[in-house]
Structure 1
Amino acid sequence: MSYAIPAPAVPTVAVVGGDPFPVRRIYCVGRNYAAHAREMGHDPSREAPFFFMKPADAVVASGSTIPYPSQTSDYQHEIELVVALDKGGKNVSVEQALELVFGYAVGLDMTRRDLQAVAKKMGRPWDLSKGFDQSAPCGPLLPAADAGDLSKGAIWVKVNGEFRQQGDLSDLIWSVAETISYLSGMVELFPGDLIYTGTPDGVGPVVKGDHLQGHVDGLPGLDITIS
């Protein structure tokens, strides 16, 4: 097929021991750790999961240097477990949800927090506080068969060698299976979708020159530098 302009490249994430994973959509779960929900001023016991999105080409490979984004003076890190799907579906049951999973990775949901705060205050969409260029760093995907049990395990981020966020996957309010199931009731899921599953408390700002190291037990690490 021919196009009016050259077709853009397909965004991809590296896969341990395999070919790159093509990214279709990026879904992100908001406030999926109780302590983080509280630090953002909300009561997690009263909320169903909610989602926002980032563009597929916001993915950034581990080892990259990314620029401090424009129009913000409060650029923050949020460390997350990322789930990649190789099957899709609608209204998927919790019991079947993990059958859709290709693999897992360590991700960062980078956020222009000051823009988000203004959007919240004025009742406007969050899009440009969350879905901007290079806002979704993602480490290599480890296939699900090799990842083992990710219902628990340490998740953390260090900035310049110092811990900023520390949590455990067992503290997720909505498990990976529950999150997939709930999301599939709102939109049809497809192979190539990524789900960023939420962040522990301790989110905070980074500045030019900072080096971020992201970790989830059992998964390849994530290293990003801000320029």
Structure 2
Amino acid sequence: MIKVLIVEDDPMVSEMNKFYLQQVEGFRADGWASSAEEVLGMLEKQAYDLILLDIYMKESNGLELLSEIRRRGVKIDVIVISAASDKESIQEALQNGAVDYLIKPFEFSRLRAALNGYREQNKLFRSQERLNQSELDRLSRFKQERTSSQELAKGFTRQTLQTIWRAVEACGSELFSAEDISAVSGISRVSAGKYLIGLTEMGVLEMDLVYGSIGRPVQKYRLAPNGKGLITKYI
């Protein structure tokens, strides 16, 4: 089992990353940290295999954290998941040994491709002392093939996704919640919520937190500008 430390200062995004991590075989979310200081302290106490690293955090900069991890010689792999799309950030992350870089928002299939590719690489490195060229080439081809795949996440079915999508279309341009989709589709609120999160990760929907006068904020969704084009690849 590959032990993963999620580094993200937004608790909701962290939970989403954990949820999607659980959809990919062989991975376990073993911790969450919201700052560089917290990460470095955790790495001193426990061994992790992989970090899912955000760059923009309120109290920390993910690139500076990655540089410090390398300076300390901590043997851990890093996949960057960030809204930072400037070439300087991407180049710095890759030069500091990030095994992959995902720009938010991204489709779940892209994250799954990154994780599957990393799992194959990890398995190969653990099982063999030496590698030949064909084995290294196979890892590169595997990542490319998985990136182009449009498979659904584990636990998702095309039929249910189609039902959810019809309910989303029925809501039109208005903001809607998991409760709204549940009422329209007849699917349970929990299942509707899971699919809405999935559609958000695919880039089909956009999500906002709507704060009321009492209680916790409610997750509300709307169709992304290119959402209709993206969903056709899945349904």
TM-score normalised by structure 1 residue count: 0.22
**Whose helix proportion is higher, 1 or 2?**
2
Report which of the two structures shows the higher radius of gyration computed on alpha carbons.
2
In terms of fraction of residues, the more strand-rich structure is: 1
Q: TM-score, normalising length from structure 2?
A: 0.21
